[in-house]
Amino acid sequence: MEVAAMRRTVFNEDHEAFRETLRAFIEAEVVPVYDEWFAAGQAPRDFYYKLAELGVFGIRVDEEYGGAGIDSYKFEAVLYEETARAGVSFGGSGVHVLLGLPYIKLLATDEQKKRYLPKFVSGEEMWAIAMTEPGTGSDLAGMKTTAKLSGDGTHYVLNGAKTFITGGVHADRMIVCARTAAPTAEDRRHGISLFVVDTKAEGYSVGRKLDKLGLKTSDTAELAFVDVKVPVEDLLGEENKGFYYLGHNLASERWGIAFGAYAQAKAAVRFAKEYVQQRTVFGQPVAAFQNTKFELAACQAEVDAAQAVADRATEALDAGELTPAEAASAKLFCTEVAHRVIDRCLQLHGGYGFMNEYPIARLYADNRVNRIYGGTSEIMKTIIAKDMGL
């Protein structure tokens, strides 16, 4: 039995129909093989073609390129809720739509869109983005990877390394952030540009598939570039404006993390409720104890609050009105709520909560990175404080 949902207006009949289709797809195509993906450390590449057939990749892509032309993030919100509900993920494919697509829509020329988007929608080319470098972390202005224009002006020569790149193993196209000019004394962020790199290009290599605490089915890798030739036609946007572009799209990225965290917290309450109703100790169900009732009630209240924040951010994002500070606030609140709720729900499982065969254990590990990637909680507080005039 599902926990009763708080009254909400963010979804309509189309979203609920998509939810039903997605739930059936997950039960048929993901749940039976998810343990295999977990052991392998990634979802199989062929699975992404199934997502493409389901229409997941093309929802926000214009019809002329093979998409549905629906300019809304609400279908992705449904996806977050349904994967969390089932205790699964779609591997590293999340960055394909949430991170890759906004850059194409914002920056690509008509010619580039004609080349990129049909294969994006079909799953023939999976996309990811390479920002972080060894030793720089959140300090993107400190990146060392370079892209130098060739003497004849036909291509850039890319050299450097990246790490923590989600989707990095399966990616066919990688948006790479690199320096095309040195930073200035006035602005360390000057000189960064974005390039769409063919991962089959000579000199491009995927290093270690990183062994993470959580997100085990998501392929996360180290990348290296040695004299990789990138045609000038694959410069995304204008030279030296990359840092601005990265900042522009951070709101949608942080929304995704916030909404995903809320969905995980909601799922944790569901898992815990089902467990305590079935588990018997001292001759009675764990659910019969007052402490259990109080703990789950407190968790449900926090989930209700996180849902309201996540829904409000979704509406603002769809309206093109989600500010950096609002996105930071939503991410901070929802990820901190999820941290508390999932920990308390795991506690209610007792020792079994520490076993990976139970979804709460995997959820606990998966959730931890939410307060780190996309900007740490400390960075979110800095953004909010600045917006407050502090």
DSSP state string for 272-321: HHHHHHH-EETTEEGGGSHHHHHHHHHHHHHHHHHHHHHHHHHHHHHTT-
Q: Is 197 helix (H, G, I), strand (E, B) or coil?
A: strand
169 with 221: CB under 8 angstroms?
yes
Among residues 235, 208, 204, 222, the alpha carbon closest in space to that of 133 is found at: 222
Q: How far apart are CA 25 and CA 245, in angstroms?
A: 35
Q: Is 258 helix (H, G, I), strand (E, B) or coil?
A: helix
253 catalytic, yes or no? yes
- Residue 13, number of CB atoms within 10 A of its CB: 7
108 with 116: CB under 8 angstroms?
yes
DSSP state string for 198-218: ETTSTTEEEEEE---SS-TTS
Catalytic position from the list 253, 295, 302, 326: 253
Q: Bridge partners of 236? A: 194
Q: How far apart are CA 317 and CA 346, in angstroms?
A: 32
* Helix boundaries (H) for the chain: 13-29, 34-40, 45-54, 74-86, 94-95, 101-107, 110-122, 242-278, 290-318, 324-348, 359-367, 377-387
User: Which residues are catalytically annotated?
Assistant: 253
